[in-house]
Amino acid sequence: MSESASELFELCMMGGSVERRFRRMRPEIERLPWGTLSPENHAPELVVEARKSWTLAAYQEHRTGAACAETLRALIAARAPVDLIGVATRFPLDEMVHVEMCARLAEELGGGTHVEHDPRDLIPVPSLDLPPLLRAAECVVQYFCVGEALSIPLLRGTWKAAKHPLIKGVLGRIVRDEALHGTFGFTFLDWACGELTAADRNHLAISAARVIASIRASWANIPDVSGYASDELHALGWMDTKDYLSLAKRSLESRVIRPLAKHGIMVNDVDN
């Protein structure tokens, strides 16, 4: 970007008939035990970290919604199978539900924290100059085969650790949605791989490696909460930091790098 367009990340609801229609699309969300978190029962500094964590989670889910929408556009342009596109149409709705749930958790803990972003630069977008199939494949690989596939075991790990019914319910709902998201990418590759050339696969490997490098760099910013008791961490929806990072590294290899390699996308052997 030539100039900064940083804005505060804020969310709103229209309410009224629009909200009622939204609720009818995902009625299970309102059945969660909202209003039951008690931040005063936890260490103040840990509550602040939890507010930051859930605010950032809402922002990341917001970005993933943009990624799902971008992928849909690319799939349609590439004339992917109609049923495959149809399955993917649900994904942006899922992500908006996740955005709301994460934001509501932050509110129950005392309110969202300050996050600035450039709305013109939410996600890395493949070049429009790419052939339609390769552009769709790049969207799918970086958003789904890497991002969503890695999120499943991490979300499942935090869901298993969570103790509070509301946080466990939110994480459980996200885990159920993300399970389909995480397998979608490799289903697409099952269909598309016969049409991808060796050069295409190398291009996709470079794209995947770039996203993986960004994810690995982000691990350095995970707050170290290992000094707190496990019960305290689990009550707010966290795993122990060391356990989380260990799971992340194992999952990156087993859920991302190896399945990509099975489709001829060799992330560890790319031509940079």
CA 118/CA 116 separation, integer angstroms: 7
Nearest to 157 by CA among 145, 147, 172: 172
Measure CA of the first residue to CA of the last residue in the chain; give whole Å: 24
**Average pLDDT for 104-132:** 94
pLDDT tens per residue, range 88-108 = 999 999 999 999 999 999 999
pLDDT of residue 242: 86
Nearest to 141 by CA among 101, 188, 94, 173: 188
pLDDT of residue 272: 44
Is residue 201 pLDDT above 80, yes or no? yes
Tokens of 180: 């389909």
Q: Please state the pTM of the whole predicted model.
A: 0.91
SS3 126: coil
Query: At residue 116, what are phi and psi to the nearest 5 degrees?
Result: -105, 150
106 close to 59: Cβ distance less than 8 angstroms: no
pLDDT of residue 269: 52
Q: Residue 122 is which amino acid?
A: L
Question: Cβ contacts of residue 64 below 8 Å, gap of 6+?
Answer: 95, 98, 143, 147, 148
**pLDDT class for 112, splitting at 50, 70, 90?**
very high
pLDDT tens per residue, range 135-151 = 999 999 999 999 999 99
Nearest to 63 by CA among 134, 125, 153: 125
Query: At residue 141, what are phi and psi to the nearest 5 degrees?
Result: -65, -50
pLDDT tens per residue, range 217-248 = 999 888 777 777 777 777 787 788 888 899 99
More confident residue, 251 or 182: 251
CATH of 42-269, one of 3.20.20.80, 1.20.1260.10, 1.10.3720.10, 3.20.20.70: 1.20.1260.10
